[in-house]
Amino acid sequence: MKKYFLFLAFMAYCSITIAQNARNTDLTGKPPSTKDSMVDRETPQDAFPMALQDSLLKTPKWKLVFSDEFNDNTIDARKWNVENTSRKRTDLMLLANEQQVEEKEGNIFIYYRKLMTEDTTYLAGRFNSKGKYAPTYGFIETRMHIVKPNGYQMAFWMMPEGNGMKAPQGVDGTANDGCEIDIVEGTKADAYSLGLHWDGYGKPAHKSNGALVKAPGIHNEEYHVFGFEWSPTFLKFYLDGKIVREMTDLKLIPHVAHFLYFSGSCFGENNWLDGDVRKNEFIQNGGIAKSYVDYVRVFEAASKN
């Protein structure tokens, strides 16, 4: 009889353990994200910034605090805002709406097209994490395919929360109170732009610091990894794990939270990027161009000594 009760107790323990394990995994065998977690459960547990040069990558070690692998069929509204906006340029109208951003096939796509019922109206997708996630310092990394510019472009950048690029005390001559951080702007064939803008966009206060990075074949390969390492004393920009730009002037270092921004844009006549979308035969004939993002991940220093 004693052995019988011991057997029943053992079976009950096994049942409870199995039930607990089932609750702690999904059908893929991976632990589910907690309600408040900003880390995608599809992100590999050993995910680490891709960098091939000396940095803070060894000490202190990085801790993953935000990610989206874009492996679903719906956009995670806890992390992202899909823009519904209009921008009037000199020679065209640019619209963004939910139809120009789509998550599928392990990517999130940004589409570029012409509104065929309006001769001067174009559409390009945009999404951001404003009001939902905005880090201060860390390592920000994305793996994506940027469309070859031809009157349109793809950009991954960051903007300050709160008052945007204007601090409450006004223009101060530095980026310390927030700036536009351009990690990649696909402006040229075989090259891209990066840099900072601060103290607003109006003259004469506006200031900037940037560079054109030569990257032969960048639009031909499916993916590239763009990284941005942000510390209180320096900024480093990476392409496929290699440093392509470093800033150490303390006036250029922002010290406030910035949200993530992925955006498509279209341009007519310009001196900024290759092409004029009004002369792009593919778009004029109803074609749809696209950029796409495989993942975005944000790491913070596990130790901030």
Query: What gap in Å lies between CA 251 and CA 177, rounded to an integer?
Result: 10
What does the pLDDT look like over 34-56, one tens digit per residue?
446 899 999 999 898 998 555 55
**Domains contained in the chain, number:** 2
Are 23 and 42 part of one and the same domain? no
Are 115 and 17 part of one and the same domain? no
Are 270 and 137 part of one and the same domain? yes
pTM for the structure as a whole: 0.86
Mean pLDDT computed over every residue of the chain:
87
62, 52 Cβ separation under 8 angstroms: no
What does the pLDDT look like over 215-265, one tens digit per residue?
999 999 899 999 999 999 999 999 999 999 999 999 999 999 999 999 999
Are 63 and 207 part of one and the same domain? yes
What does the pLDDT look like over 131-182, one tens digit per residue?
999 999 999 999 999 999 999 999 999 999 977 676 555 688 999 999 999 9
What does the pLDDT look like over 92-127, one tens digit per residue?
999 999 999 999 999 999 999 999 999 999 999 999
> Alpha carbon of 230 to those of 32, 39, 219: distances in Å?
30, 20, 26
Domain range spanning residue 78? 34-301
Are 8 and 125 part of one and the same domain? no
Are 108 and 4 part of one and the same domain? no
Query: Which CATH number fits the domain that encloses residue 92?
Result: 2.60.120.200
Are 24 and 80 part of one and the same domain? no
Three-class SS of residue 260? strand
Going by their DSSP bridges, the two strands 121-124 and 93-96 should be labelled as parallel
The confidence score (pLDDT) of residue 53 equals 53
Are 103 and 13 part of one and the same domain? no
